[in-house]
């Protein structure tokens, strides 16, 4: 059964071609940001929330991890495998909110890349995240 999801925020389109884990947890949406900015979003469904309707920290962590990895991929054209993920929960979000994430790669070496991002809902930052990613070649 397809869950009812309202139209995404302006400029966002439904993402395709994601791995099974992200596809199961989504649906996710994206839009092209400028100057290396990666923007992704999801609409909080009942399955993303805990028993009192607040978005589960695990969902926010998984979404942040994918967002940061996408920023690394955009910045390096390589796959980034998470070595370290740091999450700060700043505020809560609830069922029925659109969560919008923004991330940028801050730097990369030959083997490792670093990215920083934030998630916000209703104009309030809810998560600050940073990560370190092992760079892998893309294999078809």
Q: What is the CATH number of the domain that holds 39?
A: 3.10.129.10
Pair of tokens at residue 15: 């993402």
Confidence of residue 84 (pLDDT cuts 50, 70, 90): very high
pLDDT tops 50 at residue 5: yes
C-beta separation of 114 from 106 below 8 A: yes
Percent of the chain whose pLDDT exceeds 90: 82
For residue 137, pLDDT over 80 is answered with yes
Q: What is the pLDDT of residue 97?
A: 97
Instruction: Kindly state the average pLDDT of the residues 40-46.
Output: 96
Domain containing 71 equals 21-136
Distance between CA atoms of 72 and 21, rounded to whole angstroms? Answer: 19
Asked, for residue 42, whether it belongs to a domain, the answer is: yes
Q: Report the DSSP beta bridge partners of residue 81.
A: 134
The answer to whether residue 11 is domain-embedded is no
- Decide if 15 is inside a domain: no
Q: What is the pLDDT of residue 1?
A: 40
Q: What is the pLDDT of residue 2?
A: 54
Among the listed residues 32, 24, 27, 4, the one whose alpha carbon sits nearest the alpha carbon of residue 15: 27
Residue 132 has pLDDT above 70, yes or no: yes
- Compute CA 111 distance to the chain's CA centroid, rounded to the nearest angstrom: 22
- Is 33 within the bounds of a domain? yes
| Residue 128 placed within a domain | yes
Across-strand partners of 103?
Answer: 38, 117
The tokens 């990613």 sit on which residue? 133
Residue 2 in any domain: the answer is no
pTM of this structure: 0.93
Residue 58 neighbours by CB under 8 Å, 6+ apart: none
Q: Is residue 4 part of a domain?
A: no
Look at residue 72 and tell me if it is in a domain. yes
Give the residue-averaged pLDDT of 1-8.
Answer: 79
Residue 140 has pLDDT above 60, yes or no: no
Rounded Cα distance between 91 and 19, Å, is: 28
Query: Looking at the 3D structure of the chain, how many domains does it have?
Result: 1
What does the pLDDT average to over 51-69? 96
């Amino acid at each position: 059964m397809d869950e009812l999801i309202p139209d995404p925020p302006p400029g966002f389109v439904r993402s395709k071609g994601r791995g099974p884990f992200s596809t199961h947890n989504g649906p996710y949406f994206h839009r092209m940001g400028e100057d290396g900015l990666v923007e992704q979003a999801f609409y909080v469904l009942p399955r993303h929330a805990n028993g009192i309707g607040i978005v589960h920290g695990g969902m926010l962590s998984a979404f942040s991890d994918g967002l940061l990895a996408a920023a690394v991929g955009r910045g390096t054209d390589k796959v980034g495998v998470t070595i370290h993920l740091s999450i700060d929960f700043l505020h809560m979000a609830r069922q029925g909110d659109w969560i919008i994430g923004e991330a940028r790669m801050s730097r990369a070496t030959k083997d490792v890349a670093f990215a920083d991002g934030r998630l916000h809902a209703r104009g309030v930052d809810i998560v600050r995240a940073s990560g370190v990613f092992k760079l892998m070649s893309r294999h078809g």
